[in-house]
């Protein structure tokens, strides 16, 4: 090997399109350097149009803020319990605690790696038996793979418990012909730097209910009553998206479809080149589901194989990452009740996210696959 530093390959890095800078420039030229302005409105309209299904979008400072507001608008408060997919990023669960409520974790199913409908129902019945009906369900389309939206909606209706649909990783994913983000009572998106499109940081709250969108914006802009002076009847937040960043978002929406195709192509490349390699497995799409393949994940035969691959990639300046550590195993949530079946622990033990940016080229993918093949030879 040469001693020159090898080209760094990131897990998922920002990928700008053509017009982002123009829209940001517009914000400067018109002096809309504020958490409101034309870019915010146009970005929201392009999101609503893309998702369809009569969804309204409110752009916010982060996906975490969107989950927080969704839960607040559903009336989650002090002492409540909220069911939450255990196999996820901590931002799905943290906002539950901001409201003084307790996350109750539910494990995943093998078909989608997302919340198990069977276990969810077991958890609901048990919580009711223990005296408390959960206030909401946070379900996640992890790595872009849609969760079983029909089954989860049926359970939600049956027990009258609303759903917050965490689509932070699933913009562009489709379940039975409908885009992810519009299934829950509220949906949320993230535009963090590593997501499928980015505004450097940002998020959106999605809802079919126009009034709920207005309420979210009211809360996100310090909950100011209608008065000439500053008057407040309720506690607000500073959660609105900046018009400068919304300019980046507008440009990113123009290339979103290409980004989904590129990420799906990465997945196909990995699958074609690694499927025959010593027991590496991929998660296929269940019938009727299309994943944006935000990150390509592999399952190895053992924790040792997983670590060997991760460290070999690191040695060559390539970033990869174990699958999410389930929330019920996190020190911060170890006292929380949880309903587990071993699925997420197995995934965490043997799973690895491979570099998946839409800006990777075939040389990058070949380099990665060769290292993996070499390790498992
Ligand atoms: C990124 C992410 C979030 C949070 O989004 P931010 O914009 O980073 O606050 C929430 N849930 C999941 C599953 C995520 O991956």
Domains belonging to the chain, first-starting first, are 20-254 (3.40.640.10), 256-375 (3.90.1150.10)
Selection from 373, 5, 54, 10 nearest residue 209 by Cα: 54
How confident is the model at residue 5, as a pLDDT?
81
Half-sphere exposure of 330 (CA within 13 A, CB side): 18
pLDDT at 4 over 90: no
How remote is the CA of residue 306 from the centroid of ligand 1, in Å?
A: 25
pLDDT at 2 over 60: no
Sign of the alpha-carbon dihedral angle for 219, 51, 258, 6: positive
How confident is the model at residue 373, as a pLDDT?
96
Average pLDDT over residues 345-352: 98
For 219, the enclosing helix (H) or strand (E) is helix 210-220
269 pLDDT tier (thresholds 50, 70, 90): very high
How confident is the model at residue 278, as a pLDDT?
81
How remote is the CA of residue 144 from the centroid of ligand 1, in Å?
A: 12
Average pLDDT over residues 45-72: 97
Whether the pTM exceeds 0.85: the reply is: yes
Token pair belonging to 7: 């080209």
Nearest CA to ligand 1 atom 2: 168
Token pair belonging to 149: 């939206």
3 pLDDT tier (thresholds 50, 70, 90): low
Average pLDDT over residues 301-324: 97
Beta-carbon contacts of 299 under 8 Å, excluding residues fewer than 6 positions away, are 280, 281, 282, 283, 347, 350, 351
Which residue in the list 135, 148, 179, 195 is annotated as catalytic?
A: 195
Q: Per-residue DSSP letters for 75-130?
A: T--TT-EEEEESSS-GGGTHHHHHTT-EEEEE-B-TTTSSB-HHHHHHHHHHHHHT
Average pLDDT over residues 302-307: 97
How remote is the CA of residue 63 from the centroid of ligand 1, in Å?
A: 5
Average pLDDT over residues 244-262: 98
Percentage of the chain modeled with pLDDT above 70: 99
**Which among 11, 59, 60, 64 is the best mutation to test ligand 1's pocket, defined by most ligand atoms within 8 Å of the CB?**
64
Q: Per-residue DSSP letters for 290-338?
A: E---SSEEEE-SSHHHHHHHHHHHHHTTB--EEPPPPGGGSGGGTTS-E
Ligand 1 site, CB within 6 A: 62-64, 88-89, 91-92, 140, 166, 168-169, 190, 192, 203
Percentage of the chain modeled with pLDDT above 90: 96
How confident is the model at residue 377, as a pLDDT?
85
Average pLDDT over residues 364-373: 97
Q: Do 229 and 87 contact (CB within 8 A), yes or no? A: no
326 pLDDT tier (thresholds 50, 70, 90): very high
Measure CA of the first residue to CA of the last residue in the chain; give whole Å.
20
Selection from 261, 231, 199 nearest residue 60 by Cα: 199
The b/e string for 271-298 (b: 16+ C-beta within 10 A; e otherwise) is bebbeebeebeebebeeebbbbbbbbbb
Q: What is the pLDDT of residues 202-226, one digit of tens each?
A: 999 999 999 999 999 999 999 999 9
How confident is the model at residue 186, as a pLDDT?
98
Question: Which of 1-15, 64-78, 257-271, 304-318 bottoms out in mean pLDDT, i.e. has the lowest?
Answer: 1-15
pLDDT at 43 over 80: yes
* Residue whose token pair is 């039975």: 176
Calculated CA dihedral for residues 359, 15, 202, 207, nearest 10 degrees: -70
How confident is the model at residue 202, as a pLDDT?
98
Give one word for 149, left, alpha or beta, with left for phi > 0 and alpha for psi -120 to 50. alpha
**Which among 14, 68, 86, 89 is the best mutation to test ligand 1's pocket, defined by most ligand atoms within 8 Å of the CB?**
89
Instruction: Verify whether residue 157 is a known catalytic residue.
Output: no
Token pair belonging to 68: 């927080």
What rounded mean pLDDT belongs to the chain? 97
């Amino acid at each position: 090997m040469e001693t020159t530093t090898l080209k760094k390959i990131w897990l998922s890095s920002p990928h700008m399109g053509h017009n982002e800078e123009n829209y940001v420039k517009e914000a400067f030229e018109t002096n809309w350097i504020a958490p409101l302005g034309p870019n915010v409105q146009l970005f929201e309209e392009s999101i609503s149009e893309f998702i369809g299904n009569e969804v309204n979008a409110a752009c916010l400072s982060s996906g975490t803020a969107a989950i927080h507001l969704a839960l607040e608008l559903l009336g989650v408060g002090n002492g409540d319990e909220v069911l939450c997919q255990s196999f996820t990023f901590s931002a799905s669960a943290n906002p539950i605690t901001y409201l003084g409520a307790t996350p109750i974790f539910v494990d995943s199913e093998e078909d989608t790696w997302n919340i198990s409908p069977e276990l969810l129902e077991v958890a609901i019945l048990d919580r009711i038996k223990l005296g408390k009906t959960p206030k909401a369900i946070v379900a996640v389309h992890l790595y872009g793979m849609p969760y079983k939206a029909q089954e989860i909606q049926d359970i939600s209706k049956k027990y009258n418990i609303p759903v917050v649909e965490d689509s932070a990783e699933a913009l562009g994913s489709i379940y039975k012909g409908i885009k992810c983000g519009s299934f829950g009572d509220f949906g949320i998106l993230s535009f963090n730097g590593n997501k499928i499109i980015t505004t450097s940081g940002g998020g959106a709250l999605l809802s079919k209910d126009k009034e709920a969108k207005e309420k979210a914006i009211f809360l996100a802009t310090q909950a100011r009553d209608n008065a000439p002076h500053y008057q407040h009847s309720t506690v607000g937040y500073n959660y609105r998206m900046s018009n400068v960043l919304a300019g980046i978002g507008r440009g990113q929406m123009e290339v979103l479809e290409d980004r989904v195709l590129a990420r799906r192509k990465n997945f196909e490349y990995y699958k074609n080149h690694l499927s025959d390699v010593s027991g590496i497995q991929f998660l296929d799409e269940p019938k009727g589901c299309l994943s944006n393949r935000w990150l390509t994940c592999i399952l190895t035969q053992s924790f040792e194989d997983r670590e060997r691959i991760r460290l070999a990639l690191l040695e060559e300046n390539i970033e990869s990452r174990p699958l999410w550590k389930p929330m019920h195993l996190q020190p911060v949530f170890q006292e929380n009740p949880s309903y587990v079946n071993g699925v997420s622990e197995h995934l965490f033990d043997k799973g690895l996210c491979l570099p998946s940016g839409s800006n990777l080229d075939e040389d990058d993918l070949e380099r990665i696959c060769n290292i993996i093949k070499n390790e498992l030879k």
